[in-house]
Each structure stands twice: as structure tokens, then as C-alpha cells.
């Protein structure tokens, strides 16, 4: 249905403007607002709805951003109380002497085995030659003493057998001498009996010759027989005495053989003495060998070499200086073996464990390095201080302690050896991935 509208008639200037009443308004129906006001309200309602939607979207974005920010912040633990650590190898002299050569410069990178300092070897060369001569002499003495052992063993064994045979022979000789003595005594008794008979016959023949009852020849035969028997007695007596002397001599030989036999029985002890002397000579040779080895070591120590590869620092030795054993000459820092020591608060260790990845930001070069947690110290850093805290007091104040955490760099992270022990770093331990 089309609605007719009347154009209002302009009123005179001195009269108020009058509007004609539309038929709809006259009939009591709701009339539409004028077009500008209606557009304004429509636009206002639309703007209000868009603003609410924008607020909701912004709130959602902020919540999502806050969630991710919280998740990122809670996914790691970091600290600025951390530094690069490494081994510091102290190079010192092992012998005393005069420095004749210095083969390195300050802050020079040296490989393991490179000669750093040379000490005058003249005195140690002489000592080595002397020790070598003493060792060779001791070796010869030990060899001679060793040869005596089998020789003495054979001679003592032969001596024991020989003396034992001598004792047996001496005893047999005594037995034979006694038998000869007994035979001589029997011959003496027989000769004495014959002599008694001959002497008695001579007395009887003398009485008969005085009476001229026998011939002179018979009497002469009786005298000759008496003299022969008397001589036989003397010979038998001499033989008996000789046999007795042989018995005495045989007994003496037995005593001598037994003495030699008893002396030969000491052969094991003699062998023990000989072996002890041989062992003593060998021990002396070993002692000289040890002295020779020490002299060779001292000669070798004249050249001080780098035990590890690293950068030389803190040199305190100069050419012409006399050094003594244990005197520190320089330090070597092996830059291939460094790690991070981070002192985390004890409240940051709840979820920290070995193997977690770490990002290390280095203050010196602004670079980031990667690594992993290696281990957590067994005690807080305060306990290792010179004066550890004593908490068993009445004025105890709880302080959050820091515990050292060792962080190892991933392989090839420090290929350029840029990191140095003592540099400040800020590690981030990613406790959640």
C-alpha cells in the first residue's frame, strides 16, 4: 500500500511553522522515525554488536596469548648466576735446573706432547752414564754369583758322597788293622812259646854238654835255635806293635773321615749362603737398574711437555731462570673440555633432571649454544664456601639456597674455542618440551 505524504506549506516568517498531521498519526498508528535518526540508531546498534564481538575476540586472543606465554615461561628454568667452567692444568718442573729454552708464547694454543720448556740436561746426562756403568757392573757380579750356585751344588754333593765313602773305608780299615793286630799278637804268643822251649832246651843241652853226654854240634844247634826263637819273639813283638799302630792310624783316619763327613753335612747351609749371595747380587743389580731408570727419567724431565691440548696462560718462567721441583711455570686450559656451572635456586630444581636440553646465552658474543643437564651437585654451594653457614642458631633466617648444576655442551658447539672458563652465561633448562 502506498502511503501519501503531504508536503508542508511554508509558514510566513512571523508565524511558527506548522506541520500537517499524517493520516496514520491521526488514526493512532505508530509512525516511522525520520530517516536520519533511524539510520543513527541502526548504526549505533550495529557498532555496539561489533564492539562486543571485538571485545570477545580480543579476550580470546589475550587468553590464548597468556596461555602460550605462561606455557613458555613455565617450560624452562633460567638463571644469570652461571659461568663457563673448565680444567686448568698447572705445568710445573719435576727436577731442578737452569732453563735454556722456552718454546711457547703467551696465550698460544699447544697440542698435547709439545715441548714447552727445556732445562739444561748436562748434569743429568752425566748422572745417567754413571748409573748405566754401575748397573752393568752389578749385572756382571750377579751373573758371576749365579754361576757359583750350580758349581757349589755339584761340589758339595760330591763332597758329601766322598766323605761318606771315606768314613766307610776308615771303618773297614780299622777292622782290618785290628785283625792284623790280632794275628800279630797270635804270632807273638807263638814266638814267645817257641822261645821259651828253645831257651829251656838250651839249658838242658848245656847241662848235657857239661857232662859230655852230647856233642858240641848238638849244643851249637841248641844255642842257634834259642837265639832264632828269641829273634822271632822280637820280630813278632815288632809286628804286633806295628799292627797296633795301624789300628791307631785307622782310628785316626776314621775320626778325620767323620769330621769331613760332618763338615760335608753343612752343604745345604753352604748352598743357602751361596744362593743368598747370588740373590743379594741380583738385588743389587735391580737397585742399580732402578737408579738407572731414575736417571733416565730425570734426563727425560729436562723437557717439559704439554700433558693436554689447550691454550697456554699465566706463564711465569723465563729463559735463564733456575727452577726447582714443583715450581709452577704456566697453566694450560683445555678448551675442548669445558662445561657450564649454573647456580640455580633450590626452588627451581623441582622438575630438573639430567638429560634435559639447555639453551645457553653467552654475554660475551651474544650467541646461543645448546647443551644438556649432566648432573646436580650433592650439596648447596654455601657448604663449599670458606665459612659455611651455621643454621643451628637462635637468629636463624631462612634463605633460598643455590645448588650448582653441571651442564655439558653438545658436540661441536665450541669448535672455534670461543668460550673461555669464567665467562658469564644465562642458561635455560627446558623442563617441558
pLDDT confidence bin for 306, thresholds 50/70/90: very high
Q: Which cell is 215 given?
A: 856233642
For the cut 70, the answer to whether the pLDDT of residue 187 exceeds it is yes
pLDDT confidence bin for 287, thresholds 50/70/90: very high
Pairing, β 425-430 against β 368-376: unpaired
pLDDT at 393: 66
**Alpha carbons 353 and 234: distance in angstroms, whole number:** 126
Choose between 71 and 421: higher pLDDT.
421
Q: Which CATH superfamily is domain 75-89+331-430 in?
A: Efflux pump adaptor protein, beta barrel domain (2.40.30.170)
Choose between 326 and 266: higher pLDDT.
326
Q: Which of 173-182, 184-193, 266-275, 380-389 has the highest mean pLDDT?
A: 380-389
CATH code 2.40.50.100 region(s) in the chain: 93-120+300-329
pLDDT confidence bin for 326, thresholds 50/70/90: very high
- DSSP letters along 42-68, please? HHHHHHHHHHHHHHHHHHHHHHHHHHH
pLDDT confidence bin for 231, thresholds 50/70/90: confident
For 59-95, b where at least 16 C-beta lie within 10 A, e where not — what string? eeeeeeeeeeeeeeeeebbbbeebebbbeeeebebeb
Choose between 224 and 307: higher pLDDT.
307
From first CA to last CA, the distance across the chain in angstroms is 71
**Alpha carbons 337 and 33: distance in angstroms, whole number:** 86
pLDDT at 322: 94
Mean pLDDT of 263-267: 65
Query: Other C-beta atoms within 10 Å of 304: how many?
Result: 23
Q: Which cell is 289 given?
A: 737398574
Q: What CATH number should be reported for the domain whose range is 93-120+300-329? A: 2.40.50.100
Average pLDDT of every residue of the chain: 80
pLDDT at 95: 94
Q: Which cell is 154 given?
A: 755339584
For the cut 90, the answer to whether the pLDDT of residue 224 exceeds it is no
Lowest mean pLDDT: which of 23-37, 351-365, 417-431? Answer: 23-37
Q: What is the pLDDT of residues 112-141, one digit of tens each?
A: 999 999 999 999 999 999 999 999 999 898
Choose between 31 and 148: higher pLDDT.
148
Query: Other C-beta atoms within 10 Å of 103: how many?
Result: 14
Strand order in the sheet with 82-86: 76-78, 425-430, 357-362, 368-376, 402-409, 338-345, 82-86
pLDDT at 97: 94
Contact 370, 360 (CB under 8 A): yes
What region, left, alpha or beta, does residue 320 occupy, with left being phi > 0 and alpha being psi -120 to 50 degrees? left
pLDDT confidence bin for 300, thresholds 50/70/90: very high
For the cut 50, the answer to whether the pLDDT of residue 414 exceeds it is yes
CATH code 1.10.287.620 region(s) in the chain: 124-288
Alpha-carbon distance values, 369 to 89, 365, 405 (Å)? 25, 11, 17
pLDDT confidence bin for 389, thresholds 50/70/90: confident
pLDDT at 172: 78
Choose between 8 and 407: higher pLDDT.
407
Mean pLDDT of 273-282: 80
Matching residue, cell 814267645: 192
Choose between 67 and 151: higher pLDDT.
67
Contact 354, 407 (CB under 8 A): no
Q: What is the pLDDT of residues 331-351, one digit of tens each?
A: 999 999 999 999 999 999 988
Matching residue, cell 735446573: 97
CATH code 2.40.30.170 region(s) in the chain: 75-89+331-430
Contact 334, 88 (CB under 8 A): no
pLDDT at 12: 43
CA angle 158, 162, 168 (to 5 degrees): 150
- As a 3-state breakdown, the chain gives helix, strand, coil percent values, each rounded to 5, of 50, 20, 30
Q: Specify the CATH architecture of the domain 124-288.
A: Orthogonal Bundle (1.10)
Return the DSSP state at 106. Answer: T
Dmax (CA) of the chain: 252
Mean pLDDT of 362-377: 93
Matching residue, cell 711455570: 329
pLDDT at 358: 95
Q: What is the pLDDT of residues 19-52, one digit of tens each?
A: 444 444 444 455 554 566 666 566 666 667 777 8
**Alpha carbons 359 and 354: distance in angstroms, whole number:** 14
pLDDT at 193: 79
Amino acid at each position: 500500500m502506498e502511503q501519501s505524504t503531504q508536503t508542508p506549506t511554508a509558514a510566513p516568517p512571523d508565524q511558527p511553522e506548522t506541520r500537517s498531521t499524517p493520516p496514520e498519526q491521526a488514526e493512532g498508528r505508530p509512525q516511522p522515525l525520520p530517516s536520519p535518526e533511524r539510520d543513527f540508531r541502526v548504526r549505533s546498534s550495529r557498532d555496539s554488536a561489533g564492539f562486543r564481538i571485538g571485545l570477545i575476540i580480543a579476550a580470546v586472543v589475550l587468553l590464548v596469548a597468556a596461555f602460550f606465554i605462561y606455557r613458555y615461561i613455565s617450560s624452562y628454568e633460567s638463571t644469570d648466576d652461571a659461568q663457563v667452567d673448565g680444567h686448568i692444568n698447572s705445568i710445573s718442573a719435576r727436577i731442578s735446573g737452569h732453563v735454556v729454552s722456552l718454546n711457547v708464547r703467551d696465550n698460544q694454543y699447544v697440542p698435547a706432547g709439545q715441548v714447552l720448556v727445556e732445562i739444561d740436561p748436562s748434569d743429568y746426562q752425566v748422572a745417567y752414564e754413571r748409573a748405566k756403568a754401575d748397573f752393568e757392573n752389578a749385572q756382571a757380579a750377579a751373573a758371576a754369583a749365579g754361576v757359583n750356585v750350580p758349581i757349589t751344588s755339584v761340589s758339595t754333593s760330591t763332597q758329601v758322597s766322598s766323605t761318606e765313602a771315606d768314613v766307610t773305608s776308615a771303618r773297614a780299615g780299622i777292622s782290618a788293622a785290628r785283625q792284623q793286630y790280632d794275628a800279630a799278637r797270635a804270632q807273638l804268643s807263638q814266638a814267645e812259646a817257641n822261645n821259651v822251649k828253645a831257651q829251656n832246651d838250651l839249658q838242658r843241652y848245656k847241662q848235657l854238654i857239661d857232662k859230655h853226654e852230647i856233642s858240641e854240634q848238638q849244643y851249637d844247634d841248641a844255642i842257634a835255635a834259642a837265639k832264632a826263637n828269641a829273634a822271632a819273639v822280637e820280630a813278632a813283638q815288632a809286628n804286633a806293635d806295628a799292627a797296633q799302630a795301624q789300628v791307631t792310624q785307622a782310628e785316626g783316619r776314621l775320626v778325620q773321615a767323620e769330621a769331613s763327613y760332618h763338615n760335608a753335612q753343612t752343604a745345604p747351609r753352604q748352598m743357602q749362603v751361596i744362593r743368598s749371595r747370588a740373590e743379594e747380587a741380583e738385588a743389587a743389580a735391580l737397585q742399580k737398574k732402578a737408579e738407572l731408570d731414575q736417571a733416565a727419567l730425570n734426563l727425560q724431565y729436562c723437557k717439559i711437555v704439554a700433558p693436554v691440548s689447550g691454550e697456554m696462560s699465566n706463564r711465569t718462567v723465563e729463559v735463564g731462570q733456575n727452577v726447582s721441583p714443583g715450581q709452577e711455570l704456566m697453566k694450560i686450559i683445555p678448551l675442548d673440555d669445558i662445561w657450564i656451572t649454573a647456580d640455580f635456586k633450590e626452588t627451581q630444581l623441582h622438575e630438573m633432571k639430567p638429560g634435559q636440553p639447555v639453551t645457553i646465552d653467552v654475554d660475551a658474543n651474544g650467541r646461543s649454544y645448546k647443551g644438556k643437564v649432566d648432573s646436580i651437585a650433592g650439596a648447596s654451594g654455601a657448604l663449599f664456601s670458606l665459612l659455611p653457614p651455621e643454621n643451628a642458631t637462635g637468629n636463624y633466617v631462612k634463605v633460598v639456597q643455590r645448588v650448582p648444576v653441571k651442564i655439558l655442551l653438545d658436540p661441536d658447539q665450541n669448535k672455534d674455542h670461543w668460550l673461555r672458563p669464567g665467562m658469564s652465561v644465562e642458561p635455560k633448562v627446558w623442563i617441558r618440551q
